[in-house]
Amino acid sequence: MVQATASVLYVNSARGRVQGTGTRQAPFKTLTQALGQATAGTTVQLEAGIYGSGESFPLTVPSGVTVVGLGGTVTIRGGGLLATTDVGQQSVTLQLKDRAQLRNVTITNPQSQGIGIWLDQGAALLTQCRFTSCGRDGVFVTGDALPVLLDNEFSGNQASGLFMARRSKGEVRQNRFVRTSYGIAISDQAAPLIIDNDVIENRAGIVLSRATRPVLRQNRVRRNQTSGLWVQETAQPDLGQSQDLGSNQFQENGQWDVRNDSRHSIVSAGNQINPNRVTGSIRYVASELPDPVAVPALLLGRVKPEPAPAQPKTPTPPPLNLNSRFGDVVGHWAAPFIDAMAEADLIKGFFDGSFRPDVLVTRAQFAALVMATFPATGGNSRRFKPFRDVPSGFWARPVIYQAQAQGFIAGFPDGTFRPNDPMTRGQALVALINGLRLGEGQASELGVYDDRAQVPPYAVEEVAIATRRGIVVNYPDIAQLRPMQPITRSETTALVYQCLVNLGRMQPLVSPFIVRPSSSTRSSGTVSAAKATVVHAWTDDFWQPLMAQNLLAASRVQQPDVPMTRAQFASLVIAAFDPESQRYPVAFRDVPSSHWAANAIHRAYRAKFLSGFPDYTFAPEQPILKIQVLLALVSGLQLRVKGTAGVLTRYQDQDQVPRYAMGAIATATKLGLVFNYPTLDTLAPNQVATCGEVAAMVYQGLVLRKRMPPVVSPYRVVISES
C-alpha cells in the first residue's frame, strides 16, 4: 500500500528553473519535474502559463496526486505516444491513475488523432477543466475506469468531447459539450451516469453504439446539427423509469431529437421529447412517482392553501336526467353528453339500439368523430403526409388525412398511423386543443390533478388549456386525469361536447365530473384569508424573539399571516441553525446565482433540510406545506427519539400523513415541534404553512438546541411521558 504524504509542489513555466526544488521560492519549470517527484497525497500547483515546451509527453499523474491550475489561464499543450493494452499506441497529453485529480486546467492536444486525457483505471477526478481543440477526443475513458467528470467544458475537439468504451462507468455531471463532432460518444459495455449536462451545437449530441447501457438524467441536448441522441446497434440507454424519471430535454436538433437505429425499442419516462422529432421505436412510460406531499402541487405550480375535500371513490350519480335514447346509456354518468350529441346528429349508436359507452375508441374512430363534429373549412394548407399502414381501401382513410391536415392528429415517426390502436385520454386532449387552436396554457393549471406527474411533457400545455377551458371530464374521480389510459366512447363524447360548448355551438351541461379549477381556487383562497386573520395573535411569542435576532429579516419575512415560500424557509433555517453540509451540492435549474436566496437554498439542500424535485428544480417562490416544514426540521436537525409508536393516533386526520413520513412526523410530535391552530388534535399536514406557523416550529427547534427558552402555548402538541 502506498503511504500518503501531504505536500505541495510548485511549478511556474515562466520563472521556474530546471534546478528548482518545487518550493514556492524555487518552483519547478515543468510539470514533468513535479510529477517525477509527486507521491500519493501530493498537490502540484501550476502557476498561470502554457506548459508544453520542455514537457515529456505523455505526462502521467500518479495515484492520489492532485494537479491544480491557479487562476483560469493554465494550459497544458502537446502530446506523445502512449502504449495501451487495447488499442495500441495513442497520442495523449495526460494520463491519470487511480484517485488522481486534475483541477482548473486547459488541455489541448493539437496532434492528428490527439487525445487530451487518457483514463483506463481507477477513480480519477476531472473538475473545472477545459478540453479544447484536440485532434481527436478531449477525454478518452476505457478499461474498468470509474472517473468523475464534474463541471468541465469540452469544445472544438475533432472527434468527440468525451469518448467512453470497454467496461468503464463513472459519473459525468454538470459538464458542457459544445461545437464538437460528437459531444459524448459511448461504446462497448460502458455504463456511465450522464447527468445534468449541456450538450449543445455539436454535429451530433450523444452517440451510443454496440452494447452500451448509459443512464441519462436531467441533460439538456439542444441545437445539435444532426441528432440530439443517436442510438445504434444494441445500445440501450436508460432514459427514465416510471418511478425514476429521466427529465432530459431533447429539443431543437437539426434532423432528429432522438434517432433510434438500434435493434431495441427505447423506453422514455418523464423526458421532453416531441414524438414528431423521433425516428425509430420509442415507448413512452407514465410516471408512477408518489405525489401527495414529497412531490406536492409545487411540481406543476399550484398549491391550494387548504386541500379540497377528497373525492369519493364511488360517487353518487348527480341529480340530473340520466335517461337516454340508448338502452345501455340509461343511468350512465355520460348520458347527458351522449344524448345531446346524438340529438345534434353528431354521433350514432349501433343497429341493436346500443351505444356501448365503455368500449375503447381507436385512433381511426377518434379521427372520424372529430371530423364529423369539426369539418374542414377548406382553408388549411398543411402538407399531406402519407401513412404506410392506412391502405387506400381503409374505411377511415379520408377522415384520417382530413384530421391530419387540420392539425387534430399526427402519425408516428416511423411513418405509421396505427389506426386500430386505442386512443389515450392524453392524446385525445392534445388532438382537440391542437386542432381547435384554443390558445395557451400554463403548467400551474394541472395542480388540480392528483396524477399530474403522469402527463407527458409534450402534452402539458394542451392539458393545461383544456383544464382552464373546462373541457376535461373525469369520471369517477374528478382529481384523476389518467392521461395514459385508453379513452372510451363516452369519455370521447364528453370531451368533444365540452369543446363545442367552448365554441358556442352547445349549451353548457351540469355535471359533477367537469373539471372546473377556477371555482376550487376561489373557494380555497377564501378559506385561507379567513384563517390568516387570526394566526397573528397566537404566534406572537415565537415571532418577536426571532425578529429580535434578525432571523426573519434575513429571510425577507415581514408578516406572520402570509404563506412562507420555500426560499424564505431555506433562508430562515440557515440563519437560525447555521448547519454543516451533509451531502454534495446539486445545481437547481430555477435557482440562478443571482437569486436572493441562492446561497441559502444550496446550503439548506446540502444540510438535508430541503430537497428539490425530480426535474432538478427547487421552486423557490412556491409556498411550503406544513408537513414539509416538519420533515425538513427532523432531517436537517438530525432529530431522533424512541417510543414513537402510536403517537400519530392523537390526530383526527392521521390518515392524511403519507406512510413514508409517519416516522418523522411522530418524532416531531414527541419532541414538541408540532403546533396545531385552532384545533389541537387536527394536524392538517397538507395545508400551506404561514410565516407565523413556521416561526413557531423553528423557534421550538432552537429550544431543542438550547438556544431559546421554552414558551408555553396552548397550540403546541405535548406528549406526556407514561
Judge whether residue 650 has pLDDT over 70.
yes
The C-alpha atoms of residue 220 and residue 216 are separated, in whole angstroms, by 10
| SS3 of 332-343 | CCCHHHHHHHHH
Q: Within a domain: residue 362?
A: yes
Of 446, 430, 408, 438, whose CA–CA distance to 500 is shortest?
A: 438
Q: Quick check: is 130 in a domain?
A: yes
Region 419-446: mean pLDDT is: 82
20 inside domain: no
Average pLDDT of span 548-573: 85
On whether both 573 and 700 belong to a single domain, the answer is yes
Query: Could you tell me if residue 556 is inside a domain?
Result: yes
- For the chain, give the mean pLDDT: 84
**In which band, very low, low, confident or very high, does the pLDDT at 443 lie, cut at 50, 70 and 90?**
low
Whether residues 85 and 120 fall in one domain:
yes
Domain limit, last residue, from 486, 517, 548: 517
Q: What is the DSSP string of 329-386?
A: TTT-TTHHHHHHHHHTTS----TTS---TTSBPBHHHHHHHHHHHS---S---PPP--
How far, in Å, are 36, 38, 119, 226, 259 from residue 41 at the CA level? 14, 8, 19, 45, 45
Are 98 and 158 in the same domain? yes
What's the whole-number mean pLDDT along residues 514-530? 43
Q: Under a CB-based contact definition with an 8 Å cutoff, are residues 183 and 206 in contact?
A: yes
CA distances from 429 to 258, 445, 498, 605 (A): 24, 14, 11, 38
Q: What average pLDDT score do residues 394-419 get?
A: 84
Do 248 and 345 belong together in one domain? no
Tens digits of residue pLDDT in 707-718? 888 888 889 999
Pair 466, 558 in one domain: no
- Do 247 and 390 fall within a single domain? no
In 3-state terms the chain splits into helix, strand, coil percentages (rounded to 5) of 25, 20, 55
> Over 70: is that where the pLDDT of 317 sits?
no
Q: Is the pTM of this model over 0.85?
A: no
Structural domain range at position 361 = 335-517
Of 284, 313, 345, which one is at a domain's C-terminal end?
284
The CATH number for 203's domain is 2.160.20
Same-domain status, 420 and 444: yes
What is the band of 413 on the pLDDT scale with cuts at 50, 70, 90? Answer: confident
Same domain, 587 and 500: no
Q: Does residue 290 fall inside a structural domain?
A: no
Q: Looking at the structure, do residues 581 and 677 belong to the same domain, yes or no?
A: yes
CA distance 153 to 161: 9
For residue 476, whether the previous peptide bond is cis, meaning omega lies within 30 degrees of 0, is yes
> Total structural domains in the chain?
3
User: Is 379 in the same domain as 491?
Assistant: yes
**Last residue in a domain, options 485, 517, 549:** 517
- In which residue are the cell numbers 461504446 written? 187
Answer yes or no: is 13 within a domain. no
| 141, containing H or E segment | strand 137-141
583 belongs to a structural domain: yes
At residue 614, does pLDDT exceed 90? no
For strands 80-84 and 88-96, give the pairing.
Answer: antiparallel
- Phi and psi dihedrals of 171, rounded to 5? -135, 130
For residue 140, tell me if it sits in a domain. yes
Secondary structure (H, E, C), 455-502: CCHHHHHHHHHHHHCCCCECCCCCCCCCCCCECEHHHHHHHHHHHHHH
Same domain as 271, residue 174:
yes
Amino acid at 334: A
Same-domain status, 663 and 550: yes
45 close to 8: Cβ distance less than 8 angstroms: yes
Contact partners, residue 453, CB within 8 Å, separation at least 6: 245, 270, 287, 289, 291, 295, 299, 300
Cβ partners under 8 Å of residue 470, min gap 6: 498, 501, 502, 514, 515, 516
